[in-house]
Structure 1
Amino acid sequence: MNSKLIQIAIENSDTIVQMWLEKIDSLKVDKFSSSTSDELFENTNREFVNVIFTSIKQQGSLIEVVAFSEKIITLGWPLSYITDGLQMFRRVTIDFILSNSDQVDTSFFSELLTSVDRWVEPIIHQLINEYTGSWEHILSIQRIALQELSAPLIPVTDGITIMPLIGTIDTERAKLIMENLLEGAIKHNSEVVLIDITGVPVVDTMVAHHIIQAAEAVRLIGATCILVGIRPEIAQTIVNLGIDLTNLPTKSSLKKGFTSALEITNRKIVDLKPKEDGIEEMIKSLQGE
């Protein structure tokens, strides 16, 4: 019975494909942005339905399914495109065979449902497995990249390094900050480390605790830590929470923190631009006035 139904589906594939294309066209409005062109969407739909029929004809062969799933991932299309498309194919195929069959009883209907499920289920499982596996791999790579960028220690001059922090600081990230801070301070032979929290939206008790711990760890390896980027609202929060930053030097801006760092390392910023009045005096003296 299954082979007979397969033959019916294959012989009428053009009609089933057209019915399916009309149904799946509704997905573009609901699930895709305007950046997805009509041509790309239509071509991908035709490739999708060809993959389905190829899998039905070559039962057990899912090579085309794997290649198609990789294309969907590359396009960045949602997983629901695959699942919804296959469910639509299931419904369209069943409706077509039922409407063109003289034998419509419980036994036939049950066999039809079972047969179509046997065609569609392996494709669904394979596509979903390939899709999710590839996304997990991509997310893993992105997670590693974000960790490397989330707490960089940047040397700006001899003995002075800066760690700009952006975003929310949780326990896991705080641990990474501590590790990078200590390893970087030793690697760059830092005398002063500036922790810039300008980009940290909220500083609560836990965040402050992690920062104080990091500063204390830096002090233990012989360097000074200065906390910079203290915005007015952050300062008010710290005071309201009763957080003690007495032993941690703080500055409102990175510029002020860097100036302090230069003083700690026995350096200072010198303005090489002559003053206007000095230029005028020099001109007058040259003119003999």
Structure 2
Amino acid sequence: MDANLKELMISNSDSIVDSWMDEVGRIKSGNYTASISDELYENTNREFVNVIFTSIQNQGSSKVVEEFSEKMINLGWPLSYITDGLQVFRRVTIEFLLKQADQVDSSHFSNVLTSVDEWIEPLIRQLVNEYSGSWENILSLQRVALQELSAPLIPVMEGITVMPLIGTIDTDRAKLIMENLLEGAIKHNSEVVLIDITGVPVVDTMVAHHIIQAAEAVRLIGSTCILVGIRPEIAQTIINIGIDLSKFPTRSSLKKGFTRALEITGRTVVDLPSKNQGIDEIMNALKGE
């Protein structure tokens, strides 16, 4: 950047910042920041413009740019806020520099445009790249976290485990379900695995096929798979699309499925007498009744 123009900008930074703040305030409703409070918006704008001027004073330093981009993502601000702000800053700066000249000829005009672009263009690319990279990293971490929680196998009793499924099942998630199901069934030495589809909103041909594959895989390792949570509309859909679930035990609720799992593992549910009922039995026995 032209050294004279750079010095002129830095020495008149307050005037440029004021003009930029006014212009950015006018486009607030157009870059999805209208719902942000005026105080937060103004504070963030001042931080943003400080980042811009820091970049011209410390060329080659990307730390402040990286930190600002990460902050914008954490606050949930759109990328358009950054791009719009930089475009406005470009326009305000060019207008200011042209007004300071005693005479504006084509040579001076070209020098101003070139100098500002040499400064702003790399900053735009750097901020956008940092924003995009940080966003992709956050999405990647969230995707891993969701995958870890999307198909848990929960041991509820010796020999009995439950896999609750929630949300849409696609091919990638079905593969994860299969892996977790087999690894968990072997790890917990499960005799019965309950697959609960209560939280699955739609069961189409693909979803049913994946569930049948999972149940068949469990059967091949010596465990019994019970499909629970079959709502009336799900049952009707399964019948309409011609899916055969006759090979696998099914129950309408997790409670009924768990009762069946207890039977398969040689257990039963016994109702214990109430406290008062137990006392009455003891008294009757003492009386010889």
Q: Same fold (TM over 0.5)?
A: yes
1:69 is paired with a residue of what secondary structure? helix
The number of aligned residues is: 287
Alignment of 1:99-138 (within 5 A): 99-138=99-138
List runs of 5+ in structure 1 lacking aligned partners: none
Name the CA distance, whole Å, in 1 between partners of 2:82 and 2:10.
21
Deviates more, 1:213-222 or 1:135-144: 135-144
Corresponding residue number in structure 2 for 1:171 = 171
Name the CA distance, whole Å, in 2 between partners of 1:263 and 1:24.
69
Corresponding residue number in structure 2 for 1:3 = 3
Name the CA distance, whole Å, in 1 between partners of 2:191 and 2:26.
63
1:190 is paired with a residue of what secondary structure? coil
Corresponding residue number in structure 2 for 1:214 = 214
Corresponding residue number in structure 1 for 2:84 = 84
Corresponding residue number in structure 1 for 2:69 = 69
Name the CA distance, whole Å, in 2 between partners of 1:153 and 1:191.
13
2:142 is paired with a residue of what secondary structure? helix
Corresponding residue number in structure 2 for 1:186 = 186
Q: Does 1:25 align with 2:25?
A: yes
Counterpart code for 2:200: V
Counterpart code for 1:265: T
Shift in Å, 1:5: 2.0
Deviates more, 1:177-186 or 1:64-73: 64-73
Pair 62,155 (structure 1): closer, same or farther in 2 beyond 3 Å: closer
Pair 282,64 (structure 1): closer, same or farther in 2 beyond 3 Å: closer
Shift in Å, 1:285: 5.6
Q: Residues 146-203 of structure 1: CA distance to partner in whole angstroms, max 9, x if unpaired?
A: 1111100000001000000011111111111111000000000000000000011111
Name the CA distance, whole Å, in 2 between partners of 1:203 and 1:6.
64
Cα pair 1:230 1:252 within 8 Å, conserved: yes
Pair 158,244 (structure 1): closer, same or farther in 2 beyond 3 Å: same
Cα pair 1:27 1:81 within 8 Å, conserved: no
Pair 220,33 (structure 1): closer, same or farther in 2 beyond 3 Å: farther
Deviates more, 1:253-262 or 1:20-29: 20-29
Corresponding residue number in structure 2 for 1:253 = 253
Counterpart code for 1:77: W
Counterpart code for 1:32: T
Shift in Å, 1:281: 7.2
Name the CA distance, whole Å, in 2 between partners of 1:180 and 1:74.
32
Pair 280,50 (structure 1): closer, same or farther in 2 beyond 3 Å: closer
Q: Residues 210-247 of structure 1: CA distance to partner in whole angstroms, max 9, x if unpaired?
A: 11111111011110000000011101101110111110
Shift in Å, 1:135: 1.7
Name the CA distance, whole Å, in 2 between partners of 1:33 and 1:161.
49
Name the CA distance, whole Å, in 1 between partners of 2:267 and 2:283.
35
Quote the sequence identity (%). Answer: 72
- Cα RMSD (Å): 2.5
Deviates more, 1:231-240 or 1:116-125: 116-125
